[in-house]
C-alpha cells in the first residue's frame, strides 16, 4: 500500500476526525522518522509530546521484548510485579502519595474530576460546606471525553456535544482577580495546566498558581494540575509545578509516560485518596503489566541518561535561538515555554500555516496550535545540532515567505 491508496481507503472507512498531513511514515530512529520513500524527517513534535525517548530506543525495545514474552495483561482483579515499582517511582518524583493508572490522558483527567467530586462529597459528609462546581481556565485543554471537554475552553470542542458536564466556569488566564471573584464554597476543584499546551504554550503565572493553591486550601477544594503535556520531564523538571514550588492535590500524566504505549496516570495526596473506596472507579486495561514495564523503562532511562539536565540545556539553547530569530523578524510576536515545550507565535494564522507547511517540505516536523503558534515538543534526546538545523530552516522559511514583499518580514532597524 502506498500513501495514495491508504488515503483513498481511509476516506471511506474512518470517522472523519483528523486533517492528516500527506505523509506515510514507516520507521523511526532517534529523533528522525522515515517515510515510504526512505526520506528522514527531523521530528520536533514527537507524536504530540509522546515519544520522549525518540524512536527505536534500545531501552524501550528491550523492555517491550522482555515484557511481551512474560505477560501483557491480567486485569486489575490480580496483582502484578510492576504496579508498585512504577507507582513508587511516580510518587517519589512527584511528591504525591497515590496513583491510579489509565490508558490515556483524558481518562486520567476524568479520574481527577471524579476524585474532586468524591472528595467534596466526603467533606460534605463531615459537615463541611463545599459544592460540586469546577473552575477551569481560558484556553485550557483537558481532553475529549465529556468531563474533559466540559473543562476545555474552546467552544468548538464542546458545543456539538452539549450538554456536557454542568457546573464549570472559565476564569480569565492568569487573572487573579477574576479567579477570586469566581471562586466560592460551590467549587470542588480548580483545573490548571501549569503550562498550557494546545492553548498556545502559555505558562501560568506564579501569582495565579499560588492564589489557586490558597483558595483551595481555604475550603478543601482540590487543586488539579494537568501535566499530561508538560509533565514527566518535558520542562526540565519532572513536573512543571515544581518550577513554581507549589504542590497540587492531584496531577495527571499521559503522553510520554510509556513512550507511545497508551498509558496515563492520576496522582493524588493521601487525603484526597481517602474519598475513594473499591468499586467507585476502575478500568480494564489501565496499568497492565506491559504498559507499566515500559513506563518504568522510560523513567529509569530519563534518570540514568540525565535527560532532565539535557532538556534544560538544549531547551534553553533552543529558546535563545528562537529569541534571536524573533529579534530579526517582525512577524514573530513572542517566544514562550520552558525546557523542550516551546512556542513561537507569529503575527498571523496564515503565516503560521505557511511556515509549518514549508518546514514539513524541508522534512522538519512541527505543529501549529492555537492558530498562530508553532509548537515544539521534540523528544527529550534532542541535541544542539538538531536545534541548529531547525533554526536555520525556520529563518530561511520565514525569509522565503516574505520574498518579493519588502522588507521580507525582517527587522530593518533596531
Ligand atoms: C494538557 C492535556 N490534557 C489532556 C489531554 C488529553 O490526552 P489524550 O489525548 O491522551 O486523551 C491532552 C492531549 O493533548 C493535553 O495536552
Verify whether ligand 1 is closer than 6 Å to residue 197 (CB atom): yes
- Mutation test of ligand 1: which of 48, 113, 141 has the most ligand atoms closer than 8 Å to its C-beta? 141
Verify whether ligand 1 is closer than 6 Å to residue 290 (CB atom): no
Give me the pLDDT at residue 327, please. Answer: 98
**Vertex 241, ends 235 and 245: CA angle to 5°?**
120
Residue 221 has pLDDT above 90, yes or no: yes
Count CA within 13 A, CB hemisphere, residue 108: 29
Residue 361 has pLDDT above 90, yes or no: yes
Residue nearest to atom 6 of ligand 1 (CA): 143
Using CA atoms, how far apart are residues 291 and 299, in angstroms rounded to an integer? 12
Using CA atoms, how far apart are residues 33 and 20, in angstroms rounded to an integer? 16
Residue nearest to atom 3 of ligand 1 (CA): 142
* pLDDT, tens only, 300-351: 999 999 999 999 999 999 999 999 999 999 999 999 999 999 999 999 999 9
* pLDDT, tens only, 4-18: 999 999 999 999 999
Give me the pLDDT at residue 411, please. Answer: 54
Q: How many CB atoms lie within 10 A of CB 362?
A: 16
Q: 198 — phi, psi (to 5°)?
A: -60, -30
Looking from the CA of residue 262, the nearest atom of ligand 1 is: 10
Give me the pLDDT at residue 410, please. Answer: 56
Mean pLDDT in residue range 84-108: 98
* Ligand 1: centre distance to CA 141 (Å): 7
* pLDDT, tens only, 278-288: 999 999 999 99
Looking from the CA of residue 226, the nearest atom of ligand 1 is: 1
Mean pLDDT in residue range 107-133: 98
Verify whether ligand 1 is closer than 6 Å to residue 227 (CB atom): no
Residue 408 has pLDDT above 50, yes or no: no
Give me the pLDDT at residue 406, please. Answer: 46
Give me the pLDDT at residue 1, please. Answer: 79
As beta bridge partners, residue 43 has 365
Looking from the CA of residue 140, the nearest atom of ligand 1 is: 1
pTM assigned to the model: 0.97
Looking from the CA of residue 229, the nearest atom of ligand 1 is: 16
Q: Which of 125-129, 142-146, 360-364, 407-411 has the weakest average pLDDT?
A: 407-411
Verify whether ligand 1 is closer than 6 Å to residue 235 (CB atom): no
Residue nearest to atom 4 of ligand 1 (CA): 142
* Ligand 1: centre distance to CA 227 (Å): 9
Instruction: Map grid coordinates 538544549 to a residue.
Output: 314
Q: Is 71:80 a contact under the CB 8 Å cutoff?
A: yes
On average, the pLDDT of the chain sits at: 96
- Mutation test of ligand 1: which of 140, 142, 154 has the most ligand atoms closer than 8 Å to its C-beta? 142
**Closest Cα to residue 99, out of 110, 84, 114?**
84
Mean pLDDT in residue range 366-379: 97
Q: 44 — phi, psi (to 5°)?
A: -100, 20
Verify whether ligand 1 is closer than 6 Å to residue 265 (CB atom): no
* Ligand 1: centre distance to CA 405 (Å): 39
Residue nearest to atom 7 of ligand 1 (CA): 105
Mean pLDDT in residue range 200-225: 98
Residue nearest to atom 8 of ligand 1 (CA): 105
Residue 176 has pLDDT above 70, yes or no: yes
- Mutation test of ligand 1: which of 147, 254, 375 has the most ligand atoms closer than 8 Å to its C-beta? 254
Give me the pLDDT at residue 404, please. Answer: 64
Residue 222: all three cell numbers together: 482540590
Verify whether ligand 1 is closer than 6 Å to residue 193 (CB atom): yes
Amino acid at each position: 500500500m502506498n500513501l495514495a491508496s491508504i488515503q483513498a481507503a481511509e476516506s471511506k472507512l474512518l470517522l472523519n476526525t483528523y486533517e492528516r498531513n500527506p505523509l506515510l511514515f514507516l520507521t523511526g530512529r532517534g529523533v528522525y522518522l522515515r517515510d515510504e520513500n526512505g526520506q528522514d524527517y527531523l521530528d520536533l513534535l514527537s507524536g504530540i509530546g509522546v515519544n520522549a525517548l525518540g524512536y527505536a530506543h534500545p531501552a524501550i525495545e528491550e523492555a517491550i521484548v522482555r515484557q511481551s514474552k512474560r505477560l501483557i495483561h491480567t486485569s486489575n482483579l490480580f496483582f502484578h510485579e510492576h504496579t508498585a515499582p512504577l507507582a513508587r517511582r511516580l510518587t517519589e518524583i512527584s511528591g504525591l502519595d497515590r496513583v491510579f493508572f489509565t490508558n490515556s490522558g483524558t481518562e486520567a483527567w476524568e479520574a481527577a474530576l471524579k476524585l474532586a467530586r468524591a472528595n467534596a462529597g466526603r467533606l460534605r459528609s463531615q459537615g463541611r460546606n463545599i459544592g460540586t462546581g469546577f473552575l477551569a481556565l481560558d484556553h485550557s485543554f483537558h481532553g475529549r471525553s465529556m468531563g474533559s471537554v466540559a473543562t476545555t475552553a474552546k467552544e468548538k470542542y464542546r458545543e456539538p456535544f452539549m450538554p456536557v458536564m454542568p457546573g464549570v466556569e472559565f476564569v480569565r488566564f492568569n487573572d487573579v482577580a477574576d479567579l477570586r471573584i469566581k471562586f466560592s464554597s460551590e467549587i470542588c476543584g480548580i483545573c490548571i495546566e501549569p503550562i498550557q499546551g494546545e492553548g498556545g504554550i502559555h505558562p501560568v503565572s506564579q501569582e495565579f498558581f499560588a492564589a489557586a493553591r490558597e483558595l483551595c486550601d481555604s475550603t478543601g477544594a482540590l487543586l488539579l494540575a494537568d501535566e499530561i503535556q508538560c509533565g514527566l520531564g518535558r520542562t526540565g523538571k519532572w513536573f512543571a509545578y515544581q518550577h513554581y514550588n507549589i504542590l497540587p492535590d492531584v496531577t495527571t500524566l499521559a503522553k510520554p509516560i510509556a513512550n507511545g504505549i497508551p498509558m496515563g496516570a492520576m496522582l493524588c495526596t493521601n487525603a484526597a485518596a481517602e474519598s475513594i473506596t473499591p468499586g467507585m472507579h476502575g478500568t480494564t486495561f489501565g496499568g497492565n503489566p506491559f504498559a507499566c514495564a515500559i513506563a518504568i523503562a522510560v523513567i529509569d532511562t530519563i534518570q540514568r541518561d540525565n535527560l532532565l539536565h539535557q532538556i534544560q540545556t538544549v531547551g534553553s539553547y533552543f529558546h535563545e535561538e528562537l529569541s534571536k530569530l524573533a529579534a530579526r523578524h517582525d512577524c514573530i510576536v513572542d517566544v514562550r515555554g520552558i525546557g523542550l515545550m516551546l512556542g513561537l507565535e507569529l503575527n498571523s494564522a496564515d503565516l503560521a500555516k505557511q511556515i509549518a507547511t514549508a518546514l514539513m517540505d524541508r522534512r522538519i516536523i512541527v505543529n501549529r496550535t492555537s492558530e498562530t503558534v508553532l509548537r515544539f515538543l521534540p523528544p527529550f534526546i534532542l541535541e544542539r545540532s538538531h536545534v541548529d538545523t531547525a533554526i536555520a530552516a525556520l529563518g530561511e522559511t520565514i525569509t522565503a515567505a516574505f520574498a518579493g514583499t519588502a522588507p521580507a518580514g525582517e527587522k530593518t532597524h533596531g
